[in-house]
Structure 1
Amino acid sequence: MRLGKKTAHSAEKEKGKVKKKTGKAVGDRSLEAKGKGEQAKGGLKQAAQNIKGAFKR
């Protein structure tokens, strides 16, 4: 996996984690849900890149 993509996917996952925690802290369920979604999206992108990398070897 290219380092740039790996970093971008990790950043997306972390951004989602921050939104989720912020939403939970302030009681904003919408923000918390968006954070969970972004976190999952980043994780799926990372998994897809790992699978691509395994087939390239």
Structure 2
Amino acid sequence: MKAIIQAENFASSLVGTLWTPIFVGIFVAIVVYALWPRNKSLFDAAARMPLRED
């Protein structure tokens, strides 16, 4: 039983150690992409899309 608890603790620490920086990196990449000046025209066009009359 003690081995199962130790395995769960190891898995929990592994997830916290590996996945947290990966998800933080993904979040930072998304924010940088959204705020990059070159993408402004693309996002402005997407924002006006619901107001267009086809």
Larger radius of gyration: 2
Higher relative contact order (Cα pairs below 8 Å, separated by 6+ residues): 1
